Amino acid sequence: MARILAIDFGSKRTGIAVTDTLQMIANGLTTVDTPRLLKFLDDYMLKEEVETIVVGYPKTLQNEPAQITELINPLVEKLKAKYPKINVELIDERFTSKMAFQTMIDSGISKKARQNKALIDQISATIILQNYLEWRR
């Protein structure tokens, strides 16, 4: 079975998470500089089979698209064009950064390590992917 890959897109950094091959467990993979995202995905797709790309789609408390969606929408179109055989899904990602930070606190990660924004992005991508897996079930 192919993997599912999740993206927590940011203007500077993008968190990436993937499932195991049975699509049961979400694992943080890495954080990449956003300008290198498509190159990273190309390299990853050469090594691993991906069935679905889940993109976190932030919304405001009023259920309106957040400002960064202006950057996410073109990314989604590029992904669909570049990988026509891969399903691209959007999932609401409200509060994932706050949940990621709380997860770090709950896990006992040191205060200094919690300042690592790349780790927060990776954990956020994992939460997005886990939410998608739960929604799909």
- Cα–Cα distance, 9 to 33 (Å, whole number): 10
Which structural domain range is residue 109 located in?
3-136
- Cα–Cα distance, 75 to 2 (Å, whole number): 22
pTM of the model: 0.86
Q: Which residues does 106 contact at the CB level (< 8 Å), separation at least 6?
A: none
State the maximum Cα–Cα separation within the chain, in Å, rounded to a whole number. Answer: 42
Q: How many residues does the chain have?
A: 137
For position 62, which CATH number holds?
3.30.420.140
Domain total in the chain: 1
Q: pLDDT tens digits for 20-62?
A: 999 999 999 999 999 999 999 999 999 999 999 999 998 777 7
